[in-house]
Amino acid sequence: MIQETHVLTIDDDKGILAAYESILSPRKKNSLEDALMQLEMLHDEAVSDVESDENLIDFTLNQATSGLEGVAKLQKLHDNGISVPVCIVDMRMPNGIDGLETSLRLKLIDPHVHIIIATAYSDRSEKEILSCLKSNIYYVRKPFNSEEIYQLVYSLSISYEATKTINMLNTDLESRVEEEIEKNRQKDSLLLHQAKLAAMGEMIGNIAHQWRQPLNVISMLFQKVNRQYKHGTLSDEIVDSMLVQAMDTISHMSQTIDDFRGYFEPNKEKKEYSLSQVIEQSIGLVKSSFTLSNIIIENTIHDEITLCGYPEDLKQVLMNLLNNAKDAIKGNDIAEGCVEFYVEKMDEKNALISFQDNGGGIPIDTIEKIFEPYFTTKHKSQGTGIGLYMSKRIVEERIEGSISVSNNEAGACFKIIIPITNSAEG
């Protein structure tokens, strides 16, 4: 729950700054937690009239009339341990630095800050601004809508806090994992456990990406209900309509959790499964985070292939390859990342999964060690060196296939050969 949220507004027009102060002055809003509790009551108890406690969201405004003054204010707040989730910046400021240079300096102080560009006319194109600032950039045109400004600042503040919490969880998870690996390096059972924990760190980030937009939708729905209730315009039809929207959104979120939970469930019995479906499910788990990293995923399937075995084991292998590819592409600053699945029957007994990326490839002097335990080309804070080792073991021992790696012109290419069987007894 947000008790106090700092916002920085930068504009050379004092009238605009006064407008921001009026728009973002403290007022009562339903917290996201209360909204979700109300939805649960609606779902479980079929309650038609919702009454909830309200919590004060206090936007503390920090204002500046120039880019240099704004940068100095953010630096001072940052030095005092105060986070500023959102900065609203005018693009055209005649004195000192313009909005783009101001935004670049703000992001040097806090790379995760959300920048809202508010301008009627800009000397810079949107393409140029996006190219320089990369992410967390939003536009509103002057004259702007007051409710639009409030909702955008409110939603981005929630997003900022959620991302910060996820990063803390990931950092804590990685720290614990390293301790366990160091203590139990010779214990084979710990390797599988560690692989799952490392994957869970990636999953937490993916869940955050998948849930951020639905949570914002639910938040806005309940703000609208609250506003219309206070103004006496809330009708049964409006409540029914918003309830349908909210329940559809929650159903989507619930399906997301089912998909992620299935990834971690142990495989107990062999079963027949579609190879293309497992690949598509694996892609679905990471698609949001790949899109945010500007990485496209291509999937070419020439033959519909049915396998018999443990689909979640294969999914774990594919997730390891996907996550490694994303790290390589981001680590080498590839502007337009791409990974590709290529699936075909080699013959009546074997299927081939070819997976390649454009992340620059594996150094020739280390490629032969890539499947060894604890070997990693990543920084120690990013990798434990067991993902590919466990992938090789799963492919060879659980799937009874083989996996190999080579470099092509753009990056690494993994080939997985899987035997085709026709029944669960096979």
Q: Is the Cβ–Cβ distance between 287 and 256 less than 8 Å?
A: no
Note down the domain range covering 180.
151-264
* Claim to verify: residue 296 and residue 386 sit in the same structural domain: yes
From 103, 30, 32, 17, select the one nearest 62 (Cα to Cα). Answer: 17
- For 36, what's the count of Cα atoms within 13 Å in the CB-facing half-sphere? 11
Per-residue pLDDT of the chain (426 residues; tens, 9 = 90+): 446 789 999 998 899 999 999 888 755 444 554 554 555 555 454 433 434 444 456 888 999 999 999 999 999 999 999 999 999 998 888 778 888 889 889 999 998 899 998 876 666 666 777 677 667 788 777 777 888 888 888 888 888 888 888 888 888 888 888 777 666 655 655 555 555 555 556 556 556 655 666 777 688 778 888 888 888 888 888 888 878 877 877 776 666 665 555 555 555 678 889 999 999 988 887 887 788 789 999 999 888 899 988 888 898 889 889 988 998 998 899 989 999 999 999 988 999 999 999 999 998 888 888 888 766 665 444 445 567 888 888 899 888 999 999 999 889 999 999 998 754 444
Residue 239 CA to residue 224 CA, distance in Å, equals 10
Q: What is the identity of the amino acid at 27?
A: R
CATH (domain of 26):
3.40.50.2300
* Claim to verify: residue 280 and residue 398 sit in the same structural domain: yes
Residue 66 CA to residue 88 CA, distance in Å, equals 12
From 342, 346, 315, 350, select the one nearest 421 (Cα to Cα). Answer: 350
* Claim to verify: residue 408 and residue 276 sit in the same structural domain: yes
Task: With respect to residue 48, please indicate whether it lies within any of the assigned structural domains.
Answer: no
The three-class DSSP label of residue 113 is: coil
Task: With respect to residue 113, please indicate whether it lies within any of the assigned structural domains.
Answer: yes
In residues, how long is the chain? Answer: 426
Query: In the chain, what's the furthest Cα-to-Cα distance?
Result: 77
Which residue is associated with the tokens 């909702």?
Answer: 151
Residue 218 CA to residue 254 CA, distance in Å, equals 14
Which residue is associated with the tokens 């909005």?
Answer: 99
pLDDT given at position 256:
61
* Claim to verify: residue 161 and residue 214 sit in the same structural domain: yes
CATH (domain of 384):
3.30.565.10
Task: With respect to residue 43, please indicate whether it lies within any of the assigned structural domains.
Answer: no
* Claim to verify: residue 400 and residue 282 sit in the same structural domain: yes
* Claim to verify: residue 131 and residue 233 sit in the same structural domain: no
Task: With respect to residue 368, please indicate whether it lies within any of the assigned structural domains.
Answer: yes
Q: Among 264, 289, 321, identify where a domain stops.
A: 264
Q: Which residues pair with 4 in a beta bridge?
A: 58
Task: With respect to residue 301, please indicate whether it lies within any of the assigned structural domains.
Answer: yes
> How many CB atoms are closer than 10 A to CB 319?
22
* Claim to verify: residue 299 and residue 374 sit in the same structural domain: yes
* Claim to verify: residue 249 and residue 326 sit in the same structural domain: no
* Claim to verify: residue 208 and residue 339 sit in the same structural domain: no
Task: With respect to residue 230, please indicate whether it lies within any of the assigned structural domains.
Answer: yes
* Claim to verify: residue 185 and residue 255 sit in the same structural domain: yes
Cα torsion 231, 237, 239, 245 to 10°: value is: -130
Q: Is the Cβ–Cβ distance between 357 and 328 less than 8 Å?
A: yes
Task: With respect to residue 45, please indicate whether it lies within any of the assigned structural domains.
Answer: no
Q: What are phi and psi of 234, to 5 degrees?
A: -85, 115
Q: Among 264, 284, 316, identify where a domain stops.
A: 264
Q: Among 264, 284, 306, identify where a domain stops.
A: 264
Report the predicted TM-score, pTM, of the whole model to 2 decimal places.
0.43
From 148, 147, 88, select the one nearest 113 (Cα to Cα). Answer: 88
* Claim to verify: residue 141 and residue 158 sit in the same structural domain: no
pLDDT given at position 202:
57
Task: With respect to residue 35, please indicate whether it lies within any of the assigned structural domains.
Answer: no
* Claim to verify: residue 235 and residue 251 sit in the same structural domain: yes
Q: How many domains does the chain have?
A: 3
